[in-house]
Amino acid sequence: MMILAFPDYLSQAQRLADRLNTPLAEVSLHHFPDGESFIRLPPSLPGHVIFCRSLNQPNDKLIELLLCATTARELGAKRITLVAPYLSYMRQDFANQPGVAVSQRIIGKILADLFDDVITVDPHLHRISSLNQAIPIKNAISLTAADEIGRFLKQKLEYALLLGPDSESEQWVANIANKIGFDYCIAHKERQGDTQIKMNLPNNKFLNKTIVIIDDMASTGRTLGKAAGLLQAAGSKDIYAVVTHPLFCDDAEAHILQAGIKVIWSTDSIGHTTSCINLDALLADAIKAII
Ligand code: R5P
């Protein structure tokens, strides 16, 4: 078995390789001036290779996975696993208007054709309950960072009220709250555009309370920003945020901090300055369970 890591996920992949006591090689990657990707793999591969890379900024990365998986098969790999802690294209899960591409199903099928196993963390599954409804292979494995996040919060804070910013977040917030004995509540959110959010807080008391907003990802940061603004107006004391996937596009992080969030914590699913909750133990256990 060998771990093949992309440069953007190298330190996380190295931690995973150390846990599994498995050799690691870096995928050699170059972008030509016109944007094409050049990929080179180690010419001699074992029977089982594990590609590690989160799929934020997904369009180039998906093409690069296609090049990698095809080349690995040509080099003789019999089993190819993808560890993608952040899995993109999971949010568009139905055609909300005629003609809309259901990207969850389409990208899921591409991944199923390329890989024998796909392992991810807290994917954005909303209208389906299991990952292999999106990626039709037996080993489409959806892990949750709830234990890691829960343990982290318990160390940082004696008690806090957890807030999920929308109904989709309830699955993660409830899980974490139940594990560590914190209370939780869920806001109502309506997205009106990429950066336009309408939100109503639930009828809890927020005055002088320590609040942690929990979500699967922060992309534009507008969801966390809106929740933080409302919590400040309701008199909350300290407001923190935890996300599994720190996408943080453009001014997202600055926007969130300006909105009154004291600290943002995230997992290392994507390398970022906020990443302080490591996922290597969770991923290593999942790999051990399927080999
Ligand atoms: C959406 O339902 C997700 O769970 C997140 O709330 C959302 O993707 C966050 O996006 P943004 O940071 O752009 O508000």
Express each pLDDT in 44-88 by its tens digit. Answer: 999 999 999 999 999 999 999 999 999 999 999 999 999 999 999
Q: For 115-130, write each residue's pLDDT tens digit.
A: 999 999 999 998 898 9
Residues 6+ positions from 97 with CB-CB distance below 8 Å = none
Task: Look at residue 126 in the predicted model and tell me its pLDDT.
Answer: 86
Quick check: 282 pLDDT over 90? yes
From the alpha carbon of 222, which atom of ligand 1 is closest? 14
The pLDDT assigned to 105 comes to 97
Separation of 132 CA from ligand 1 center, angstroms? 23
Is the Cβ atom of 226 under 6 angstroms away from ligand 1? no
Task: Judge whether residue 262 has pLDDT over 90.
Answer: yes
Q: What does the buried/exposed string (b/e) look like for 148-170 if buried means 16 or more CB atoms within 10 Å of the residue's CB?
A: bbbebbeeeeeebbbbbbbebbe
Pairing of strands 2-5, 24-26: parallel
pLDDT digits (tens, 9 = 90+) for 126-167: 889 899 999 999 999 999 999 999 999 999 999 999 999 999
The count of other CB atoms within 10 Å of the CB of residue 1 is 16
User: How far apart are the CA of 222 and the centre of ligand 1, in A?
Assistant: 8
Look at residue 100 in the predicted model and tell me its pLDDT: 97
Ligand 1 midpoint to CA 195 (Å): 10
**169 C-beta closer than 6 A to ligand 1:** yes
